[in-house]
């Protein structure tokens, strides 16, 4: 999308937000271009494997969100996160306490998903789940936006939904999952604008359960809308070092992946969301 097209869409979205919310929405976000790719910062991998890209590892949320996950699988997830130095493990909220215990003493955060994967829960239900996850030790919250409300331009509901989670999460950081595969470009712009307005710390492409994943084009659009002030997380379908490089070049500064070991070493991964 050209800057001219993005500015036109952003102006339309900002006007609609002002009309609904009675405030000043961010104007035409021609934000910065793609973020620079991380420098080559590699070290020997554990167990004699290939080099580990440590800079990339610190951008990865090592993810395990399937409903049938067992404690043994959580232990493997946390062992890998500790070994390779991933930014966090991203798990369902019921598994936060287990992962906090498994990661005790490690420089790895625990990230909990909230309202996952549909985003269709009431705002107070998402806020309750958020408080419980933070109480259990989560440092970050990945919430799913109310996708239906965003699609029908009920911006007041979208902002209320996000703000309730942001408030409940403090001091934890909040990433807002847009589920970009289900949205038009105009809706993506609105979702990013509203997330920033509501105090989110990141916008995120996808759940990985919605029939689509992160694309460089979507990441670039999101980065241009939110500018440098908040993060962009690419999640869903990032399965190789090449995939990771593409979304980073487009502007992502966090990646959600189950194939995280493959991303940083090239070793075969059996990971699945």
Which residues are part of the catalytic machinery? 142, 204, 233
Contacts of 138 (CB under 8 A, 6+ apart): 93, 96, 100, 110, 111, 112, 172
88, β-bridge pairs: 61, 109
- Reported as type and span, the H/E element at residue 95 is none
Half-sphere exposure of residue 155: CA atoms within 13 angstroms, side-chain side: 25
Q: Which of 191, 143, 146, 203 is nearest to 167 (CA)?
A: 143
Rounded to an integer, what distance in angstroms lies between the CA atom of residue 17 and that of residue 38? 35
Which is nearest to 84 in space by CA: 46, 110, 117, 114? 46
């Amino acid at each position: 999308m050209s800057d001219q097209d993005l500015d036109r869409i952003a102006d339309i979205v900002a006007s609609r937000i002002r009309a609904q919310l009675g405030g000043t929405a961010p104007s035409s976000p021609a934000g910065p271009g793609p973020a620079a790719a991380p420098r080559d910062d590699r070290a020997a991998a554990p167990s004699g494997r290939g080099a580990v890209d440590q800079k990339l590892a610190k951008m990865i949320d090592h993810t395990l969100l399937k409903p049938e996950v067992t404690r043994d699988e959580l232990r493997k997830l946390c062992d890998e996160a500790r070994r390779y130095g991933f930014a966090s493990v991203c798990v369902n909220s019921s598994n936060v306490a287990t992962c906090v215990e498994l990661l005790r003493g490690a420089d790895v955060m625990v990230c909990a998903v909230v309202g996952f994967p549909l985003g269709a829960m009431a705002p107070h239900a998402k806020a309750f789940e958020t408080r419980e996850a933070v109480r259990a030790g989560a440092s970050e919250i990945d919430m799913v936006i109310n996708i239906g409300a965003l699609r029908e331009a009920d911006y007041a509901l979208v902002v209320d939904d996000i703000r309730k989670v942001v408030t409940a999460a403090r001091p934890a950081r909040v990433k807002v999952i847009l589920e970009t595969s289900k949205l038009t470009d105009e809706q993506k712009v609105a979702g990013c604008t509203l997330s920033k307005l509501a105090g989110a710390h990141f916008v995120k492409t996808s759940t990985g359960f919605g029939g689509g994943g992160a694309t460089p084009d979507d990441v670039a659009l999101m980065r241009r809308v939110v500018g440098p002030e908040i993060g962009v997380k690419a999640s869903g379908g990032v399965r190789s070092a090449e995939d990771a490089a593409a979304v980073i070049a487009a502007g992502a500064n966090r990646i959600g992946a189950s194939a995280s070991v493959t991303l940083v070493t090239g070793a075969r991964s059996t990971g699945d969301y």
